Amino acid sequence: MINKKQLYHILENTNLNPWKAEIFENVFTIFSDPKHGDLKKWKSILENLPQINPSIINLNSAIIQIGISSDIDSDKKNTLTSMLKRLHPWRKGPFNLFDIYIDTEWRSDLKWDRLKDHIASLKDRIVLDVGCGSGYHAFRMAGQGSRLVIGLEPFLLSVIQFRAINHFVNSPVIQILPMGIEKFQYISQAFDTVFSMGVLYHRRSPFDHLSELRSHLRSGGELVLETLVIDGKKDEVLVPEDRYAKMRNVWFIPSCLTLESWLKRSRYKNIRLIYINKTTIEEQRSSEWMHYESLAEFLDPNDSTKTVEGLPAPKRAIFLAEAP
């Protein structure tokens, strides 16, 4: 669980100091929600994780490495494996804990490789990661020397997964809060870098989301925006009538030129597209740690350029921009 005293000390020495009380009020109120049916089970797993000192921690490798096989005996390894699998499904990774390979649905390292050499250095920066999942990218940000990484993630299972991993990493630099960005609006212009990856198309109002992100950036701070896009001209946008790739909550998928114009309208500057790629089944797929349907089942079995609904298959772009 979060070490309140330790986090208070970190926040006191950053631009987030004025809001530390509000941050903790949100964290502990939401995370103690008795209405969530699985929360008691998940908290029990966290509380019973074994105490192991990893002989190595590498946050700068594609597969985040925590410990090696010889750090743990076979009985404890089997127990730990069983506990981690009870936190299924694992969406973002991969991780390797004491030679337990958590092969997540998404190869999140591929996304990181696409952007890491283009973004401003994260060394000593205060970073916000919106929709951070189980924290794979947050760990990579910490590995790049970030002073503090705050992640926002409304899905409690993902927060639990992060805390299970961080139980062994024990990094005070990364703090993932169980909330969405809409409950974080009290913080203004406090971050050097803001990441929004895989979130924009889930928002009913893309302009509100872009404005929310900008409000958290200091002047000159950097936005890293990754989202679904379509091929098309300026002002072309796909609005699915129902589902998109079996997802219910996809609202707007713009062309790259349209997204660039949205960023301009939202008062960003120095806007540039750094990468665009088609999502493949090598990057997103089912695994032993996520055995539900994945991209292969979301595509037309007779035409991989289309989703099962007959819409353009997923393609993703990464934009960088700066706050004015």
**Tens-digit pLDDT profile for residues 118-165:** 999 999 999 999 999 999 999 999 999 999 999 999 999 999 999 999
At 169, list the tokens: 């990493």
DSSP structural state of residue 63:
S
Contacts of 115 (CB under 8 A, 6+ apart): 224, 226, 274, 275, 318
Per-residue pLDDT, averaged over 175-189, amounts to 89
Closest CA to 191 of 172, 212, 211, 219: 219
Please state the pTM of the whole predicted model.
0.95
Cβ atoms of 90 and 104 within 8 Å: the answer is yes
Q: How many residues does the chain have?
A: 324
pLDDT on residue 21:
82
Domain ranges for the chain: 4-322
Distance, CA of 142 to CA of 163 (rounded, Å): 15
Residue 30 pLDDT exceeds 70:
no
Confidence of residue 277 (pLDDT cuts 50, 70, 90): very high
Cβ atoms of 175 and 3 within 8 Å: the answer is no
Pick the CATH number of 4-322 from 3.40.50.300, 3.40.50.150, 3.40.470.10, 3.30.70.1020: 3.40.50.150
